[in-house]
Amino acid sequence: MSAPSKQDAETEEEPFIRVECYAGHRAESEPRRLHLGRREVAVTEIIDRWLDPRHRYYKLRGDDGGIYLLRHDTETGLWELTLFDSGRRDETRLSST
């Protein structure tokens, strides 16, 4: 399952972020792979997840070592990358990662 980004709704270009999900036995979709422009990142770990009335949030670790915070709008199906930490600089490393 893939969802276009908010940017895709505004332009006809390829979306900046596309998320492939897997629905397990609980039928709840979880991100498995991110497409950021032309770059592809496999999700190696779901560090955390939480809900609010309109969104699902996922804190993920990618196979590139980066930490990604994604927001999924449950009404529109759109995904948004809200935060990225490459993990390359200790002074900017996210806590609890």
Q: How confident is the model at residue 20 (pLDDT cuts 50, 70, 90)?
A: very high
- Average of pLDDT values for 67-96? 81
In eight-state DSSP terms, residue 13 is: S
Whole-angstrom Cα distance, residue 13 to residue 9?
9
| pLDDT exceeds cutoff 90 at 47 | yes
10: number of Cβ within 10 Å: 9
Q: What is the pTM of this model?
A: 0.73
Question: Looking at residue 31, what is its pLDDT?
Answer: 94
Could you tell me the residue ranges of all domains in the chain?
6-89
| pLDDT exceeds cutoff 60 at 4 | no
